[in-house]
Amino acid sequence: MEAPVISLTTVDWDAAAAGVAEPGAAPKDAFAKLNATSEKRFPGIGQSTVPVLLPFDLDAFAKDAGNPDAATSDKYFGGFHPNKFFLAGPAGYDANFEIRSGELGISFRYTKPVVIEISGTAYTYDLDGPDHQEVFPPKKELGDLFPGMKRILREAHVRYVFERFGVPYVLAIQCYDMRPSRKHLSCREADPIAEKFLRLLKVAGGTPAIIEQPKFSMSRPQAESPDFTFHSPGDLIENSGWKKLPGRADYHIYSPDMRFPIANAPAYVISQSFMPWGDCYRKGTVGRMGRKDAPYRCRINDKPLVFNESAPQNFNYPWRDNFCENRDYLVGQCPGGYGHQGQDIRPSNCVLLNAQADRCMPYQHTVAAVHDGIVRRTAGNIGAYIVVNTADQRVRFRYLHMNPKMMDADGLLNGRKISAGEIIGKVATWGDFENGTSYHINFNIQVFTKVGWIWVNPYMSLVAAYERLIGERGKEIMAGDPVSPPPDKPPVIMNPDQVAVAKAAVQPRVSEPPPPTAREKRAAENAKVQKRRHHRGANVTRKHR
């Protein structure tokens, strides 16, 4: 297990203060005065150890400080709208703003608000290769305003990367390098938004402070587990990588003190696509799916599978990395530039509705927050982030496949404070709708680099967190080591005497889904567009249109 490599920022506070105070004013005094004003709209801004750049007209805001609408009006942000996510701390800051088509004279076909994220950092994570991205110069006018700026397409975001006062800053907008559509924002449409936003940036706060090297504890339990085993990072199921490429042997622990995301052990980091009941992620199958316990395999390999989500393989050790497993998502840290972005995690067991059912019932196990932090999530979104900003970590964790309606009802939304170990939901089967995926969560980690937030392999961080949870050290299975067959682990039968009535409606299957509602049809169509978008338009070697 390896600690991450960190580079510290050296901040020129004198240069930053020169633009916000009278000549000769001490930076600490200048920024204390600035924070006193900006704190009224961005609480905690003074906790940032780097100068905070925002599209914020502080002069106009200060003049209106006595007006009752000053605390809520968006007229001070050049036409952009703060979206309630702002986090400043020892590692820097992140701020989110939104804009809709037609505002500021900027039009785009995408029908939802576009989120603009601006960040500055006290330190960056230095990642090993591969490093798939496309780098372009910005427009000349922006290059003159921000010397050394780069425009980068990486992981479905356009990123404007620059330094000011010695601090790395990144503006990022999610977009896709393809034609405009109502379903997504093209990067061509994102550029004028970014350019308008960048021109409005002003120093809005922060506090001079000493930035120290983050500290990491790499200790592990001394006692060896008699049960817990895991394959090496990067050791994927045979041929399951993008274009059959291998995974990436990343032994870094990106969050040495994080908690394991499933509330209770045991739990299993195991592929949900290339294991029993998995759909082989559109790579084709050999054998009949749709009948319980029917044998089949993925066309890409000879691994025998059965059409039964409760199969012992899915709920037993050893664990297996699937960060770079075959998906259409851009992942710069994977050999081919595409991958899964995270890890599939199953809880302790499978609960079946009855003995004839072939898939697990949702909401039988709880999900826990892995760290103290702040939630980043808008209502209806299937992904929930926990963002950590401390002297030792600049990390954010993402959970997928919990029920978004339940998360909305629980208030898991932008700005909520979370404590490590707090229950934040239940394991579900939510893809784009109920029963849209198998029973698991997808867990991802991003760290802040010189080009912004980047997906990294959470596998060894999960191994370390699980060892702390169970209080025992696991055993790594090296390539070529023999692996014992999984012991029999029967599922829990919720209604053992119940006969499978209306089984297609109660237990939707991969090949025999129930008739979708109108809403589910729309969600499914959106999902198809999303997959085509990643597959066609987000190719990391494609030139920007």
In sequence order, the 6+-apart residues with CB closer than 8 A to the CB of 482 are none
Q: Which alpha helices (H) appear in 66-203, and where do they start and end? A: 140-145, 187-199
pLDDT score for 90: 98
| Residue spans of beta strands (DSSP E) within 232-339 | 268-269, 285-286, 295-298, 305-306, 329-330, 338-339
Q: How many CA atoms lie within 13 A of 356 on its CB side?
A: 12
SS3 229: strand
- Give CA–CA dist 490/312, Å, rounded: 7
**Confidence (pTM):** 0.90
- Give CA–CA dist 183/537, Å, rounded: 13
- Give CA–CA dist 449/245, Å, rounded: 25
CB 257 within 8 A of CB 217: yes
Q: Which alpha helices (H) appear in 349-433, and where do they start and end? A: 404-409
What is the biggest distance separating any 2 CA atoms in the chain, rounded to whole angstroms? Answer: 83
Instruction: Write phi, then psi, for 87 (nearest 5 degrees).
Output: -140, 120
- Give CA–CA dist 306/288, Å, rounded: 10
- For tokens 């006969």, what's the residue? 499
Q: Which residues, in sequence order, are bridge partners of residue 454? A: 447
Residues of the chain with pLDDT under 50: 501-514, 533-545
pLDDT score for 530: 54
CB 359 within 8 A of CB 509: yes
pLDDT score for 24: 79
SS3 271: coil
- Give CA–CA dist 319/121, Å, rounded: 34
pLDDT score for 508: 42
pLDDT score for 318: 98
Q: Which amino acid is at 381?
A: N
pLDDT score for 66: 82
pLDDT score for 543: 34
Based on its alpha-carbon atoms, the radius of gyration of the chain, rounded to whole angstroms, reads: 24
